[in-house]
């Protein structure tokens, strides 16, 4: 592993562990919020389809100008 990448990872883990130990309530709230995020394929597909429709609309507007 790249040394800089390894140091960054270690730093991020140190910060996370510090929050876990020192700011227990904050950490629990972060976990609760993260678990409420919808990461399902259906949601991702819907977002992709919306983005695709927006791109098509922009392309059509540009072509007609």
Percent of the chain past pLDDT 70, that is, above it, reads 98
What predicted TM-score, i.e. pTM, was given to this entire model? Answer: 0.54
Supply the pLDDT for residue 1. Answer: 60
pLDDT class of 65 with cuts at 50, 70, 90: confident
The DSSP annotation for 1-51 comes to: --HHHHHHHHHHHHHHHHHHHH-HHHHHHHHHHHHTS---HHHHHHHHHHH
Break the chain into its structural domains and give their ranges: 3-64
User: Does the structure show a pLDDT above 80 at 37?
Assistant: yes
How much is the pLDDT for 3? 85
């Amino acid at each position: 592993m790249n040394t800089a990448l390894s140091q960054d990872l270690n730093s991020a883990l140190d910060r996370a562990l510090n929050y876990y130990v020192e700011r227990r309530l904050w950490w629990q709230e972060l976990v609760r919020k993260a678990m409420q995020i919808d990461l399902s394929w259906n949601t991702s597909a819907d977002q992709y389809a919306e983005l695709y429709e927006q791109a098509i609309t922009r392309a059509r507007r540009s072509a007609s100008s």
